[in-house]
Structure 1
Amino acid sequence: MTDRRDRRRLSRRTLLRVSAGTVTLAAAGSTSAVADGNDTARALLERRCPEATLEPSMGYCEGASTEGCADDHPATIALQQAVRETLETEYPNVGTLVDAGFKPYFDTLDGDDDGWSHWLSPEYIGDDAVLDPDRPESVLVDNTSWRSIGVMFIATRDGERIDPPPVYDIDEGVDWMPETETDALESDGPGTQAEDDTVDQDSDDLADERGATSEHEAEHEHEDPPADDPNRCSPWHYHTGAPGRFAWWFYQQAYEQEFADGNIRVPCRTPCMMHVWTVDHPEGVYAHDGPPPEYREQPPADDPGFETDARPGEDELDWDLLPEEVTPEERPESVSLDLENWWS
């Protein structure tokens, strides 16, 4: 007889088949299988995580507001420029991220090859800084050029998730910026256009594309942020879909060794996160999904920054090309989980 524990194991392939509309919970090493539909899988989700979904999905964090997040707002311009300076001087490419202790994650469960990857810093995730352009919790990398294209701030303090601060609020101010610079922003007022030769914010074509509904928005309709206010910019979101939950769980297990404390349960949601793209993006600086390939085009990194036969611009960045010191012992595609760790 098949062991009950074996029959309740959930592999990557199983999860992908759930997302496609059919779930097969196969016994490990067994010839028998139990076929079921999405309704059963969704019922399991509701036991512990009523917001969770099998498909990619997200929600807005407490106090989130996108109404005041214009790309030409002085606070947005200042934040993007500060992030750009950090990436250009400290983390311009994969080699510098490896040297700085960042850890890679290549999306596994969403079924799409987006062409860019997340590089996470255990140091910055574990410190007490939040929304600090000098200490980004995650750097976003184009897998073709091997160059940085933005950051993902993660609202954690000492590794624990917290309620995130706004980028800008007319009453709360701009906490992430020195007071002298904040005073200068207030004197400029909203809507001031920064002079930046590296980004053409006035491009008519880009403006037209930003006014259109994106493919991401069409597939993943989101409710309005809970505190939408034209005087507040706080575009923080969290992930409740299986791909995002698994990615955060994998980071915690592979790089923070949480399994050593007996904590192997997949969280119901991720911490609050916020992208700041330093390349042009048709959906704006804070867009949830990555920029299309044509917006990521840039000269490849001059040197990989570590010993490898692969070359930026010629070889697509992935696990196999990275040095052993930054790759986990077990990769996401080889992980299997008991169902109770996902749903119960």
Structure 2
Amino acid sequence: MRAARNLAFALAEVASAEEPMPVSASLAEMEGAARVLSNGVPRLRLSPRIGDDALAVKGAFRLSGGTWLTAGIRLTQAEDYGYPEISGSIGTLPIPALLFEPLLAMAHKAAEMRAGTRFPTTREAILAFETGKGSANIVLDLPQGLLKGVSKLAPSDDAIDGRLANRLYVAAHQQLNGRPLDLPEVYAALFENAPHTGDAARGHARAAMVAAAMLVVGPRAGRLARGGEASLSPVLPATLSVSLAGRGDLAQHFALSAALAASADPAIGQALGTWKELDDSLAGGSGFSFVDLAADRAGLRLGETAADPARAGTLRSRFAADAPELLPLEALGFTEGMSARTFEGRYSDVSSAEYAEAVARIDAALDTLPLMRR
């Protein structure tokens, strides 16, 4: 988790810098980040390797039929330590640099056409590369705003309607602002005039999940919808004062997880919740919390309901009838504040049987709530 966080911060700094910046990563850091990524995308396996003059990354992706597709990329250090030689492979078939460079150019052009924006070529982005003593060092020149351009590459056929999410966000903010709220009140306001059936009901429910995250976590959560943040006024209203089971942090965990599940693969939202708690267990964090994790998993269930065409239409009546319980009181008794050392002593890691049992207890508690049942 520490490795993934460090690499993410380094790349984010490069992407926001006005000048080229160096990035260094040890093999241990890359292996740690690869493990974290595989936890969030179970079908993906990455294996980095560093040699005397090259960095190689092998990848395997499990297809729907259970077959694994393997591929790799290799950056070989140039004599002047400038732009490296880039080659690759598909399965056992090697692709030399002479062929790989044209393939990169084709992929670059296709990405620009899909996103409608210009991306730097690999030669423009990678200014220097070298390996040594178990680490890879690279100098990158990335334009500001690159991450927003990359986000446009994601499939948008089933994207959440950002304009609807914005309308719901503004209307609910005007209606609810000025007093402390319980999280069910926020969802009730967002579902007041929701359609009951069909694609319209699902579209409203998914947009409501994003709008709730914007109200509780912050307007930037609108990025989970297509154009959800872009059309808002530069002077954005403040978030509302919202709590869940008497705690504001639990409302934030729940609302963001619900929005993630409604807009993306729930497995990714589940992994993000776990990663956040693992990050909290590091020095300076608040500690690993199974209470927070319970709120995450409860939010994921609501988001899954919103994304389900057969169930999305039921949310209007459920929130209109009363204030449904979103988190069982039992969850507040789960262990909190664990350091990394304490967590590892009790559970080893997130793939252990002990950790699976702890998560099963959370899910069993959620199953007692009518709105949370699957």
So what's the TM-score if we normalise by structure 1?
0.24
Higher relative contact order (CA 8 A, sep 6+): 1
Give the TM-score taking structure 2 as reference length: 0.23
More helix by percentage:
2
